[in-house]
Chain A
Amino acid sequence: DTEPKSHDEL
Chain B
Amino acid sequence: MNIFRFAGDMTHLASVLVLLLKIHTIKSCAGVSLKTQELYAIVFATRYLDIFTDFISLYNTFMKLVFLGSSFSIVWYMRSHKIVRRSYDKDQDTFRHYFLIVPCLLLAMIINEKFTFREVLWTFSLFLEAVAILPQLVLLQRTRNIDNLTGQYIFLLGAYRAFYIFNWIYRYFTEPHYVHWIPWIAGLLQTLLYGDFFYYYFHSWKNNKKLQLPA
Whether B67 sits at the interface, judged by CB under 8 Å, is yes
Contact between A10 and B180, CB atoms less than 8 A apart: no
SS class, residues of chain B in contact with chain A = helix
A1 to chain B, nearest CB (A): 10
Whether B9 sits at the interface, judged by CB under 8 Å, is yes
Interface residues of A (CB under 8 A from B): 3-10
| Chain A to chain B: the 4 pairs with minimum beta-carbon distance, closest first | A6-B180, A8-B56, A6-B183, A10-B63
Given contacts A4-B113, A5-B175, A5-B180, contact A10 B122 (CB under 8 A): no
Interface residues of B (CB under 8 A from A): 5, 9, 12, 50, 54, 56-57, 60, 63-64, 67, 113, 122, 164, 167, 175, 178, 180, 182-183
Cα–Cα, bound, A7→B102 (Å): 23
Cα–Cα, bound, A4→B116 (Å): 13
Contact between B164 and A9, CB atoms less than 8 A apart: yes
CB neighbours (8 Å) of B182 from chain A are 6
A4 to chain B, nearest CB (A): 6
Cα–Cα, bound, A2→B134 (Å): 34
Cα–Cα, bound, A9→B47 (Å): 10
